[in-house]
Each structure stands twice: as structure tokens, then as C-alpha cells.
């Protein structure tokens, strides 16, 4: 799945532009996808804790594959929106997948496990930009991208079938059965109510971590939409150079992330989250003015910072939240995270298209400084980590 996704993702924004979108419409596409995935997070978390993780993950992965059809045959950017909304509605399984992963890792090895997963994903991502480059050179840009999305669709169908073999991690109880669709819809108001009450059952530091994560990831995702656009249109990188930059980033952060994971388990998670935030400042400043070689370094700093803060956040949230409410809490966190992403993407799209293209990147770099101070002074690591 991850291997296939990284192929068209290398040039996704450029593909949308080629289908008639403009720079602001890119943010509209991103906003549509973020809102679609946000509205299914509450029921996704609730269903994961009430009915189990396995069935939700496997069934909805087939929906991702179906959504890929719209990317393959899209005559305009409007069809990209349809496919993205379908895929993101099917991402209702996201809280279940995260809960399944956290459940499967012992607290003392949680950071090591997460960092190892991140390294594996990066290594799987590694051939993606190279294949994307090959496809657009062998065919043309349009056909090469459509072939890339075809690979994604096939990979998603295979992954969905393999996920049928996942082992359930939620202990059996009276409610651990597959719900009917109508019953799931009727449970939506209840799932929202239960999810919002979750913060009374966890330490305040968990809530503070939630707030900072919502802000930083909203800014990061809004910048990700425009990285390739800015690099090719403003910095005048070729598509081949951009694929090289992305490939080097995936490869170069592998060893630092492995080392960070083992250290997180030994000395704690918070300092690595702070370091991740701080790396956004130099990376975004350099990104706005870089030539090819400086862009290699800037994108390495960005990739390392993003991976550190994501790993640290996921591991620390696992430490804070008990297993029996982990899916519900994850659904709540991800609802507000994706909602914020949508709003930040629209805001960044307006700034990029109508004010100054550099602003979204500079804002991420500047905001990361006070957020790192907030983490330093307001968040305390748990004395006892939840299983």
C-alpha cells in the first residue's frame, strides 16, 4: 500500500494542476478530503472500541481501492475530489488501525516499535519517486500518472485482502460483533458524545499534546500540498530533480529515526517532539530560498522533524490513553486534526495563490518555535505508561 501510494504522491499536486485546477483549487481539493475524513473519525473510533479493530480495517481498505478508479480516469480535477472523498470516508478505519498498532506494542518498546515501523515505511516509500520519474519519462506526464494510480488501485485491493488475516486485539465482550451500517449511523451522535468525554479520563498533558499536534500537523499538511508546486514553479526544479530530493529525504532519515526510537524508550518522548518542532524552522526558511543542493538539505531537515514529532506524539498518546478507550480517543484527536488540516489548507492556499507563495512555509517555521516551548513547559510524561 505505502509503496504504491508514494508513486503518484510524488507529483500529485502537479497532476491536479494538469487536470485544470489552479493553485487555490489545490487547497479546495485538500479541504474536501480533510473534511470527509474528519467526519468519520468519531464513529470510527467508537466502532473500533465497541466492535473491534480487524473487521473495520479490512472492509474499508476495499473502499480505498474503489476510490482510486476516479484518479485513474479523471477528465478534470472535479473527479479527483470525488475519488478523494470516497477514499477518505472509507478511512473510517484509521482510529482502529492506530489502536491496533498501539495495542500490539509493549509500553517499554513502544517508541522502538513505532520508529521501526516508520523506517520500514520510509524504505517502502523509497522506490516510489524513482518509479514515478520513470513513468512520466517513459510515457508522458498524464499517462504516467494514470499508470501510477492504477498501481495504487491494485495494491489497495491486495492489501485489503491481506488485512483479512489481521488478529483482533480488543478483548471479546458482548458488543464485539460486526454492526450493521444503519446501526452504525444511528450510533453517530452517541459516538461524538462518548468521544468528547474522553478528555476527562486522561491527564491534562494528553490534552495539551492533542492541541499542539492539531496545530502543527494542520500547518505541515497544508505545506505538503504546495511543496512540489513551489519547487518546480518558483525554485525551477525539474520533475526529475524533485523526485531525487524526495528519494534522498526518505533514505537519509532512516538511521536517525531508528536511533531516536530506541532513545525515546530510554529517556522519554517529549524532547524528541520538541526537536521535531524546532527542525521545522531552519528547514522552511531554507526551503523558500534553496537551490538544488540546499533543497536536499532543507527537505532532509523537514522530513526528520516531521517523523520525530509524529512518532513522539503517537507513542506518548499511547502512553497516556488506556487500551479500552484508545480507539475512541484516537477518533476524537483525528477528527479535530483533520478538521484543522482542512481549514489550514484553505488558509494556506489563499496565502500561496493571492498573497505570497512563501508564506505557508514561513508560517510553519515560525509557529513551530512557540509550540515547542508550549510542549516544554506544559506537557509532562506519564510516570506509568498505559499498556
Domain limits for position 316:
2-167+179-378
The predicted structure's pLDDT at residue 55: 64
Residue 172 lies in a domain: no
Q: Categorize the per-residue pLDDT at 137 as very low, low, confident or very high, splitting at 50, 70 and 90.
A: very high
Domain CATH code at residue 297: 1.20.1250.20
**CB of 228 within 8 A of CB of 11?**
yes
Residue 386 lies in a domain: no
Could you tell me the three cell numbers for 330?
484516537
Residue 342 lies in a domain: yes
Neighbours of 380 (CB within 10 A): 11
* Cα–Cα distance, 273 to 285 (Å, whole number): 20
Give the helix ranges, DSSP H, for 163-269. Answer: 181-186, 188-196, 204-224, 227-233, 239-252, 254-267
**CB of 238 within 8 A of CB of 47?**
no
Q: Categorize the per-residue pLDDT at 185 as very low, low, confident or very high, splitting at 50, 70 and 90.
A: low
Q: What is the CA radius of gyration of the chain?
A: 20
* Cα–Cα distance, 44 to 177 (Å, whole number): 15
Mean pLDDT of 232-260: 93
Q: Categorize the per-residue pLDDT at 174 as very low, low, confident or very high, splitting at 50, 70 and 90.
A: very low
Residue 174 lies in a domain: no
The 10s digit of each residue's pLDDT in 198-212 is 778 888 898 899 899
Report which of 97, 95, 72 is spatially closest to residue 82, judged by C-alpha positions: 72
Domain count, the chain: 1
The 10s digit of each residue's pLDDT in 254-296 is 888 888 887 887 787 899 999 999 999 999 999 999 999 999 9
Could you tell me the three cell numbers for 372?
515547542
The predicted structure's pLDDT at residue 96: 64
Residue 175 has pLDDT above 50, yes or no: no
The 10s digit of each residue's pLDDT in 322-333 is 877 776 777 778
The 10s digit of each residue's pLDDT in 13-63 is 999 999 999 999 999 999 999 999 888 877 766 666 665 556 667 778 888
Burial class (CB in 10 A: 0-12, 13-18, 19+), 322: exposed
Torsion region of 176: left, alpha or beta (phi above 0 gives left; psi -120 to 50 gives alpha)? beta
More confident call, 172 vs 91:
91
| Pick from 222-226, 337-341, 383-387: least confident | 383-387
Report which of 255, 359, 360, 241 is spatially closest to residue 296, judged by C-alpha positions: 241
Amino acid at each position: 500500500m505505502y509503496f504504491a501510494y508514494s508513486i503518484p504522491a510524488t507529483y500529485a499536486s502537479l497532476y491536479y494542476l494538469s487536470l485544470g485546477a489552479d493553485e487555490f483549487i489545490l487547497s479546495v481539493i485538500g479541504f474536501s478530503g480533510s473534511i470527509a475524513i474528519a467526519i468519520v473519525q468519531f464513529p470510527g473510533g467508537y466502532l473500533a472500541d465497541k466492535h473491534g479493530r480487524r473487521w473495520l480495517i479490512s472492509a474499508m481498505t476495499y473502499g480505498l481501492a474503489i476510490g482510486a478508479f476516479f484518479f485513474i480516469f479523471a477528465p478534470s480535477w472535479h473527479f479527483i475530489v470525488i475519488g478523494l472523498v470516497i477514499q477518505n470516508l472509507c478511512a473510517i478505519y484509521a482510529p482502529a488501525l492506530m489502536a491496533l498498532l498501539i495495542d500490539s506494542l509493549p509500553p517499554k518498546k513502544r517508541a522502538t516499535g513505532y520508529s521501526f515501523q516508520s523506517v520500514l515505511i520510509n524504505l517502502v516509500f523509497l522506490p516510489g519517486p524513482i518509479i514515478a520519474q520513470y513513468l512520466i519519462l517513459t510515457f508522458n506526464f498524464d499517462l504516467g500518472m494514470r499508470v501510477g494510480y492504477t498501481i495504487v488501485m491494485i495494491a489497495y485491493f491486495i492489501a485489503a485482502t491481506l488485512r483479512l488475516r489481521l488478529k483482533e486485539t480488543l478483548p471479546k465482550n458482548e458488543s464485539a460483533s460486526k454492526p450493521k451500517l444503519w446501526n452504525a449511523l444511528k450510533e453517530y451522535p452517541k459516538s461524538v458524545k462518548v468521544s468528547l468525554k474522553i478528555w476527562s479520563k486522561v491527564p491534562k498533558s494528553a490534552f495539551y499534546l492533542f492541541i499542539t499536534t492539531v496545530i502543527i500537523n494542520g500547518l505541515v499538511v497544508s505545506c505538503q500540498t504546495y511543496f512540489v508546486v513551489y519547487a518546480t514553479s518558483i525554485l525551477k526544479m525539474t520533475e526529475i530533480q524533485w523526485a531525487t530530493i524526495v528519494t534522498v529525504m526518505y533514505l537519509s532519515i532512516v538511521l536517525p529515526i531508528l536511533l531516536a526510537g530506541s532513545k525515546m524508550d530510554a529517556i522519554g518522548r517529549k524532547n524528541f517532539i520538541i526537536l521535531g518542532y524546532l527542525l521545522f524552522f531552519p528547514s522552511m526558511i531554507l526551503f523558500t530560498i534553496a537551490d538544488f543542493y540546499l533543497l536536499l538539505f532543507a527537505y532532509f531537515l523537514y522530513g526528520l522533524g516531521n517523523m520525530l514529532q509524529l512518532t513522539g506524539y503517537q507513542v506518548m498518546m499511547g502512553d497516556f490513553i488506556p487500551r479500552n478507550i484508545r480507539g475512541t480517543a484516537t477518533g476524537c484527536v483525528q477528527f479535530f486534526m483533520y478538521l484543522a488540516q482542512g481549514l489550514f489548507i484553505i488558509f494556506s492556499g489563499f496565502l500561496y495563490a493571492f498573497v505570497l507563495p512563501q508564506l505557508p512555509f514561513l508560517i510553519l517555521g515560525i509557529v513551530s518555535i512557540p509550540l515547542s516551548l508550549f510542549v516544554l513547559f506544559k506537557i509532562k510524561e506519564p510516570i506509568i505508561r498505559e499498556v
